[in-house]
Amino acid sequence: MIRFTALLSFLVLSSTMITDTVQAQSAQIYANQCAECHGLDRLGGTGPALIPQTLGRMRGPNLEQVIAHGRAATQMPAFDEVLTSEQIAALAGFLHEPLKDVPAWRPEQITETRWLDPDYEAADAPVFDADPMNITLVVETGDHHVSVLDGDTFNVLDRFETPFAVHGGPKFSPDGRYVFIMSRDGWVQKYDIWSLHQVGRLRAGLNSRNIAMSVDGLHLAVANYLPMTLTILSTADLTVETVMPVIGKDGRASRVSAVYQAPQRHSFILALKDAPEIWEVATDPNAEPVYEGFVHSREKGMVEAIPSSEGLFARRRIMLNEPLDDFFFTDDYRHLMGAARGSNRGVVVNLNVGREIAELPLPGMPHLGSGISWEKDGRRVMATPHLKEGMLSVIDTADWTILKTIKTEGPGFFLRSHENSRYFWADVFFGPNKDVMHVIDKQSLEIVKTLRPVPGATVAHVEFTRDGSHALVSVWEDDGAVIVYDAVTLEEVKRLPMRKPSGKYNVWNKITFSEGTSH
């Protein structure tokens, strides 16, 4: 027995030693081959950060293949002639290990990354003839660029480079002149649409989720997973206004899943990944409080502070039963619907009284962040896709009942409509029918047409022109396209070649909070 235990300890010890040696060798290979572009600390440089938070979601060709064969149309070279396949596998394993030390990423460190483009000169008026309110930006994830489209002629006015792996919707200034774009590595880029020129950029987080702008256009909030903070920047000059550590009521730090602008409330609303709380952060200390029943809620220990009584960026906590990380807001921003990732439940939270007021059975992982709303039979309804089931749920926001479940040809990711259109468009992002796009009548809730523009190619995400006359659809492939459809006849009008176009964002629809678009 003693001998067996000694053998077991020996085996465990030697396998630990082998693992340690492989790790040390991989760290050395990393330092020799990768650090120059990706940073000695793996937090990125000219290349993106190589940490589990960003690598974990790599789809398609896996990490080992990228190391071996490089990435087309990027600076990433192939290493299959320099490294053996064992070394490549070990290096990939090393990159999937969490960082031992995560920098605090304090305001001073963020400020050091701030870069203002020396060639930028602000134009006095738009340098193009197109309607500046009908500009549509197309994020091209294939080669990390944005195309600036004239929404009337569909000509490309400019195509500029973005930081690596942009995620979430860019956010426009209230006058539609400037746009802010965020990458998963936490870089925030400011671009001047009038001048068709980049203004500058800085790294607000190390692994970030999305951004939101305050209703007055003065502040830009960046939701971070790494470190667990909310960074707030001045939109005027990209300086840091504050970095808020996100600590739950129980004292534990939480990642921020997303941050949203709540215009009527003059606040940011934060979804916390690891704490059963929603945070509301005041962006105008002089705004009237909108919280009916506040005292009642405070007595019950649910609401911690009135933002307006505590000044700019004061924080209010709304306690929940479990963390919610995907939100849909009603048009008046009194209510939000939230869902926990992986759950079959939607929860309605009344933001004024600060508590959960209803629950909805929503199987198949509802993707509430993509929800849209419209008027049907005098009632305000919303629709949401589901990430794990081929269906859309249509919900009455007056009493939170499910009006209809629409069967689709597979699980979808995005919905889009426009107040001037009788239809909403729903993609099928996952499964064998990822090449179809459903067009659905907003009143009958019936699918009226199923488009399959490029058999076998993923089609997803729709944006309308300012007047709702045309719908733009992404062919989400590296040699992809944006297809322009007549939004009434549903006929194709034009096809613009693009590199893996993902989201598209029309200035007017975004700054007016069009009811058919996510905010």
CA angle 401, 406, 410 (to 5 degrees): 130
Q: Which of 42, 144, 167, 317 binds ligand DHE (CB under 6 A)?
A: 167
**Binding of ligand DHE by 169 (CB under 6 A):** yes
Radius of gyration of the chain (CA): 24
Scan for tokens 């965020």, then name that residue.
Answer: 182
* Contact pattern for ligand DHE over residues 191 through 230, marking x by CB under 6 A: -------------------x--------------------
How far, in Å, are 119, 220, 229, 266 from residue 311 at the CA level?
37, 17, 19, 12
Per-residue binding letters, 414-453, with ligand DHE (x by CB under 6 A): ----------------------------------------
Least Å distance between CB 2 and ligand DHE?
50
Nearest to 308 by CA among 327, 286, 275: 286
φ, ψ at 93 (rounded to 5°): -60, -45
Q: How far apart are the first and last CA of the chain?
A: 66
Number of residues that bind ligand DHE (CB under 6 A): 13
**Side-by-side strand order, sheet with 240-245:** 207-213, 219-226, 229-234, 240-245
Contact call for residue 141 and ligand DHE (CB under 6 A): yes
The distance of closest approach from Cβ of residue 192 to ligand DHE in the complex, given in angstroms and rounded to an integer, is 21
Binding residue (CB under 6 A) for ligand DHE from 48, 176, 369, 480: 369
- Among positions 178, 225, 413, 485, the unique one binding ligand DHE when judged by CB under 6 A: 413
Show the binding pattern over residues 241-270: x = contacts ligand DHE (CB under 6 A), - = does not: -----------------x------------
* 195/502 with CB nearer ligand DHE: 502
- Part in contact with ligand DHE (CB under 6 A); list of ranges 91-99, 165-173, 376-384, 479-487: 165-173
Residue 180 or 485: the one with the smaller Cβ distance to ligand DHE is 180
Residues 455-484 interacting with ligand DHE (rule: CB under 6 A): 461
SS (H, E, C) 389-423: CCEEEEEECCCCEEEEEEECCCCCCCEECCCCCCE
Cα–Cα distance measured from residue 195 to residue 125, given in angstroms and rounded to the nearest whole number: 8
Which residue lies nearer to ligand DHE by CB, 210 or 350?
210
Nearer to ligand DHE, 203 or 434 (CB): 434
Shortest spacing between CB 240 and ligand DHE, in angstroms = 20
Instruction: Measure the CA–CA gap between 329 and 422, rounded to whole angstroms.
Output: 22
**DSSP codes joined into one string, 68-120:** HH--TTSS----TTTS-HHHHHHHHHHHTSPPS------HHHHHHT-EE-TT-
| Residue among 68 and 151 whose Cβ is closer to ligand DHE | 151
Q: CB of residue 167 vs ligand DHE: minimum separation in angstroms?
A: 5
Which amino acid, one-letter code, is at 301?
A: G
Which residues, 6 or more positions from 28, have their beta carbon under 8 angstroms from its beta carbon? none
Q: How far is the CB of 56 from ligand DHE (least distance, A)?
A: 8
Binding string, residues 18-57; x marks residues near ligand DHE by CB under 6 A: ---------------------------------------x
Nearer to ligand DHE, 166 or 391 (CB): 166
Phi, psi of 9 (to 5 degrees): -60, -40
> What are the phi and psi torsion angles at 138 (to 5°)?
-115, 120
In the complex with ligand DHE, which residue's Cβ is closer, 268 or 413?
413
Q: Which helix (H) or strand (E) holds 297?
A: helix 294-299
Of 169 and 385, which has the nearer Cβ to ligand DHE?
A: 169
| Cβ count within 10 A of residue 11 | 10
Q: How far apart are CA 28 and CA 16, in angstroms?
A: 18
Q: Is 501 in the site for ligand DHE (CB under 6 A)?
A: no
Using CB under 6 A as the criterion, which residues of the chain lie in contact with ligand DHE when the complex forms?
A: 57, 141, 167-169, 210, 258, 369, 413, 461, 502-503, 518
